[in-house]
Structure 1
């Protein structure tokens, strides 16, 4: 489960928006929010654009994009891929809503606190176990595709006659491709002749008549 989220301007660490801590005990996250502030303080434009930092039962996940730091505290068991998909969604909406104002020099702390409504709605979606199950299913499908592709590549590379066969096939394909291009050019030329030959014939007859009548 995602516990809290903070959005900060990268260049000067100005807080732009944040979610209310999801905690029944006010001091439960105090230690980890202090750690979060230290992480934010150390991040620069040369830092890794996304990373996860484990701390006790929680993990800090952060994303740097478009001059903004998005950082969240989540339970350690919460899927990392899901956490970054959540942060990507926040970035997409935040930039669409406030991207033109991020670099303003007169911004006050938490100038976009209303964005907290979107954070909370998105957090509820990503805390839904069905979202995690769907993502795991998608990852499994992608892994299946990768395994099939890997198997096909291995079949080509390690089958006894694979490389010779690939070379022969490649040569045949090049020869067929060359024949196809020549045939296509001939067909196109014949089509042009059929299309424009009557017009050219009529034009020649017209020119001949003009010459015969007026210039002869």
Structure 2
């Protein structure tokens, strides 16, 4: 903000030769843009583009971190489901084999 005020101040008074002379007492300069700058900078994210971009990047980074954490949690859940599915598959194959063996002993059709 200060840099922008200095640039604007210098531009506003560039033709004022008295300002650049040696000053022995306070001078009364009317600089109307100061209040405009102060009002604009009440919300720095709106006035400073770099600050606004930095804020947006921080928000995006936070969202991405949350998404990555959720993805890792889902990955762990998927791994657990895959393990249970494999166990269930193994148990169903064993059940099938035992049931087939029992049915063969139970009755024979001739």
Greater strand share, structure number = 1
TM-score by length of 2: 0.40
Structure ranking higher on relative contact order (CA contacts 8 Å, 6+ apart): 1
Higher helix share: 2
